[in-house]
Amino acid sequence: MRCLFVVGAVLMTGLWASPAGAWTDATRRRMVDDAIKMSPPALATVLERYRADLLHGMIDPLGGESGEDHRQHVSGGYGRAAGKIEWHSQQAMTIIGQPGRLRLAIYALGTAAHYVADVNFPLNCGAGPVGDPPFYGDYARYTEKMMGRFPVVLDREPAPALAKNRLEEFGKAAALRASRYVAPIQAAYTPDGKPKSAAAFDEKSLPFGVASLSYSQAVNDIARLWAHVWQRAGGDVQGAPFPGDVPSKARPSKKAAKSKKDGNSR
């Protein structure tokens, strides 16, 4: 009996072993596809043209996924993911209009999307200092397994931080929202004090609902951020599904600028 207990403990430890990343490679690739579908037509055309660069931007940071750059704890001061969202977004804004650098700009949008996904993974956004829960890896694998059953629902709720171009604040708001699901996930993994695996979760379970909602919210946030950056750089956002996110100081179109100049000269 003691031997069986030890073997079971070892198997559970292996099952809960944490991988390098939160959302897996496959999950992030599907996020990109779904976010493109939510993008304004003009931007979606560019993203499709440079899809390989966009995907590289999204996937390349997985190499350091276990570090602080990919966390945004809501207390304890641990995490830099929200700051990474702002940095890579500003980089994209700066170079979108520069000759011959559009591919690099799209890569930067992909990298910004990586960190947006990070702040929407609840277990990246817990309270306190360094440390992930022991079921972190199991839940990441579970979301990949179930993602084909996740509907992506358009969230029309305005994002005030985007309208003010406060991109780090936008990331922190997403992390705060995601952090509310940490305790319910933990409770589902240890309902009676004994650890269990995600194999016990069905489509009516709370962990499934949280994973589905978190995935959909990540896709929405990625699409919103892309449209925001594109517009700030002077791009056409007609047809964007997030009208409430229009920046208060977005660059005017050339036609609008010319009209204003003509009016001032009269």
Torsion sign, CA atoms 249, 38, 221, 69: negative
The angle subtended at Cα 206 by Cα 202 and Cα 208, nearest 5°, is 50
CB-facing half-sphere around the CA of 15: CA atoms within 13 A: 14
Calculate mean pLDDT across residues 28-42: 98
The model's pLDDT over 38-86, given as tens digits with 9 standing for 90+, comes to 999 999 999 999 999 999 999 999 988 889 999 999 988 899 999 999 9
- What Cα–Cα distance (Å) separates residue 182 from each residue in 12, 64, 124, 179, 201? 20, 22, 9, 6, 16
CB 222 within 8 A of CB 92: no
- Tracing tokens 């931080």 back to the chain, one arrives at 161
Backbone angles phi, psi at 79, to 5 degrees: 125, 140
| Domains (range + CATH), the chain | 25-233 (1.10.575.10)
- What Cα–Cα distance (Å) separates residue 127 from each residue in 66, 130, 184? 17, 9, 14
Strands (E), the chain: none
CA gap 147, 27 in Å, rounded: 7
More confident residue, 147 or 18: 147
Predicted TM-score of the model (pTM): 0.85
Calculate mean pLDDT across residues 133-146: 94
Q: Across all residues in the chain, what is the average pLDDT?
A: 86
More confident residue, 129 or 167: 167
Is 245's pLDDT higher than 50? yes
- What Cα–Cα distance (Å) separates residue 6 from each residue in 3, 10, 11, 88? 5, 6, 9, 47
Q: What pLDDT was estimated at residue 246?
A: 54
Q: What pLDDT was estimated at residue 23?
A: 96
The model's pLDDT over 181-215, given as tens digits with 9 standing for 90+, comes to 999 999 999 988 777 888 889 999 999 999 999 99
CA gap 116, 149 in Å, rounded: 21
Q: What pLDDT was estimated at residue 108?
A: 99
CB atoms within 10 A of CB 244: 12
The model's pLDDT over 82-99, given as tens digits with 9 standing for 90+, comes to 999 999 999 999 999 899
